[in-house]
Structure 1
Amino acid sequence: MTWGWTGVRATWSTPEAADSMRLMREAGVTWTAVAFGALQATAQSTEIDVDAQPTVTDDEVRWAIREAKSLGMKVCLKPVVNVADGTWRAFIGFFDQAVPGEPSWAEWFASYTRFLLRYAAIAEAEGCELFCIGCEMVQADGREAEWRALIEELRAVYSGPITYNCDKYQEDRLSWWDAVDVISSSGYYPTGTWTEHLDRIGGVVERAGKPFFFMEAGCPSREGSPARPNDWTLEGAPSERAQADYYREMFVACEQREWMRGFMLWDWPAVLYSPDEAASNDDYCVFAKEAEAVVREHYLRRRPDPPA
């Protein structure tokens, strides 16, 4: 389960956050992605402001890792870059060839490398079992040389396994899966389409010879969301049943694939709504909803092997 997104300063390292993580563990979760975001101003900016609000502090990151481990969970640290003006990070991009006076991929990757090295050092010091080096960076995915250079620098700091969270539909488009230890993606696939997409992903896994899991997967508890599970803005009435049915379908489809190693479901916030608010909450979190029982039953029955 992904915990803590988006990583708002002063919402971690609190009694409420500790309760949130404990309740997540009670749902059968054995691995958590501690996820948070730092901001760059626009999709064409080249500086990532790690220390500015609302990004959580390094001490808060360390607290979350230690809290998860104290509850018996393994941890994937997942630092993510977001765009302050609301543009999805998949659109971060620059000219293919550098132009004098214009922002460039070289400048951006230099800043992004500093960003990740900072948290790779924390992941190493705190004994994180996995480190995620990016999330849904679709425009950046094609910069193979830069990613390989970045990974080489990270391995000098972090000794554990590394994964990259590509976006849905992109699993068979990356050319540098051999550089990471674990393949992962965002599995927000529409209801009724799991077979075709798992067939496609299975080919990638076989060719790469790497473990695979869904670094993100899930569905809002909202009418219509199973057909567009990646769309958190979709209008519809709250529906616990729609979310639960989506999870059942996803779990049944995925457990038939021997290469499938698990999920980091999306998501579980640091500040939870109360149980009596669950029926009216139409977001991704499954706490106190019908889908939580589906997740717990699946996780406690399967006890999947770790992804690395």
Structure 2
Amino acid sequence: MEFIKGITFAPFAAQGSFANEKAKQSLKSLQERTGANFIILVPNGLQDTAQSEVIDFKSKANVSDEELREMIRFAKSLGLKVALKPTANCKNGTWRAHINFFDKDVHCEPKWHNWFKSYTDFQVHYARIAQEEGCEMMIAGCEMVMSERRADEWRKLIDDIKQVYHGLVSYNTDKYQEDNVTWWDAVDVISSSGYYPLEDWEKELDRIEKVVEHFQKPFFFAEAGCMSTAHSSEVPNDWGKTGEVALEEQAAWYEAMFKACSKRSWVSGFAMWDWPWKQYDLKEAAKDKGYALYGKPAEQVIKKYYSR
């Protein structure tokens, strides 16, 4: 597998976002400013709560199929490779990792098999688009931690995807979960979310390396990032972290990640989180405390490593 120099572009964009000319301008800026050769697009599926059985991916909270197809084609016209990563979220704000049901069916209670039917419809819908538009990878969701123990259902899902999509298939597990997934043999590429504390990269890479050696599959970080908020490098996965703006700390986190991963030949790339479809004014970059990279020192770190 070719090394992935990626960025996640406009995750969970709402209907109409990709039809805005600013989205194309932002994507061009992403390529020019970071040197990325690969983007991940993240269609948004919504269920009411973590115990709901139905995923809605045709709401106004998600880009339309037509918008998505046009953005894929535009990305490819720029020479970018594209992965689709349809991701389920909960409307009530519960993190998707907590989507969960009883392991044994109980009358009048929501059930795994109903949820997996809806989740499969969601994934296969975008797998067809990925196939028709020539996407280089299909990633079957993200950070569905509590569901990952349901190995049979995941194997069936991956097989269903491969019936309609003939490129590389991956799944993006969450940080610290790489060695808990038992069905990596079913995918072509192992991927995870690399939100590890700055000081912990070597330790966590040692652990992940054992998984890669066992399954003999390519590996990349389908997400990786750190906010530009003070002390975020200690808890880069904490979206709610508050504090002063810390642009250099964000950049230092990226330096540490790249330095550690560059020693591991089995790390086959990254897709940084994230780059919005609508950019803030460049003069506002110094005030932004989020994961965004545009105009920050971290952007320059990525460009340096992606240009190698």
Q: Please classify the TM superposition score into its range, dividing by the shorter chain length.
A: over 0.9
* 1:28 counterpart letter in structure 2: G
Asked if 2 retains the 8 angstrom alpha-carbon contact of 1:4 and 1:36, the reply is no
Residue equivalent to 1:59: 66
Instruction: Say whether residues 1:132 and 2:143 are aligned partners.
Output: no
Cα distance, 1:36 vs structure 2: 2.6
Residue 31 of structure 2 corresponds to 25
1:43 aligns with 2:50: yes
Q: Secondary structure at the match of 1:253?
A: helix
Look up the match of 1:305.
Answer: none
Aligned to 1:269: 276
Moved more, 147-156 or 165-174: 147-156
**How do 1:49-128 residues align onto structure 2 when only pairs under 5 Å count?**
49-128=56-135
Q: Note the C-alpha offset of 1:147.
A: 0.5
Select which of 194, 218, 223 maps to 2:230: 223
State the distance in 1 between where 2:150 and 2:121 align: 17
Q: Does 1:239 align with 2:283?
A: no
8 Å CA contact 1:137, 1:166 repeated in 2: yes
Q: Provide the residue aligned with 2:266 in structure 1.
A: 259
Partner of 2:198, secondary structure, is coil
Measured against aligned partners, the alpha-carbon deviations of 1:134-158 in whole angstroms (never above 9, x if no partner) come to: 1000000000000011111111100
Matched letter for residue 155 of structure 1: K
1:299 aligns with: 306
Letter in 2 for 1:3: F
Q: Distance in 2 between the 1:6 and 1:103 partners?
A: 26
Which residue in 1 is equivalent to 2:188? 181
Aligned residues: 301
Q: Distance in 2 between matches of 1:211 and 1:118?
A: 25
2:225 corresponds to 1:212: no
1:29 & 1:14 partners in 2: Cα distance?
22
Q: TM-score, normalised by structure 1?
A: 0.97
TM-score (norm 2): 0.97
Distance in 1 of aligned mates of 2:70 and 2:19: 6
Deviations 1:92-115 (A, max 9, x none): 000011112211000000000111
Which of 10, 15, 22 is the aligned partner of 1:4? 10
Alpha-carbon distance in 1 for matches of 2:146, 2:60: 26
The Cα shift of 1:13 comes to: 2.3
Aligned to 1:156: 163
Amino acid at match of 1:76: A
Q: Root-mean-square deviation (CA), in Å?
A: 0.7
Q: Secondary structure at the match of 1:114?
A: helix
| Shift in Å, 1:212 | 0.2
- Which residues of structure 1 form unaligned runs of 5+? 302-308
The structural deviation recorded for 1:7 is 1.5
CA distance in 2, matches of 1:134, 1:54: 17
| SS of equivalent to 1:133 | strand
For residues 253-282 of structure 1, the C-alpha deviation after alignment (integer angstroms, 9 at most, x for no partner) is 000001010100000011111100000011
Where does residue 279 of structure 1 map in the other structure? 286
Aligned-residue offset at 1:248: 0.4
The CA deviation at 1:17 is: 0.1
Partner residue in 2 for 1:304 = none
Within 2, Cα distance between the matches of 1:88 and 1:268?
Answer: 21
Q: Which amino acid aligns with 2:73?
A: R
Letter in 1 for 2:147: A
CA-to-partner distance for each residue in 1:223-278, whole Å, 9 max, x for gaps? 11000101111011111101000000100000000101010000001111110000
Q: Secondary structure at the match of 1:186?
A: strand
| Maintained 8 Å contact 1:34/1:64 | no
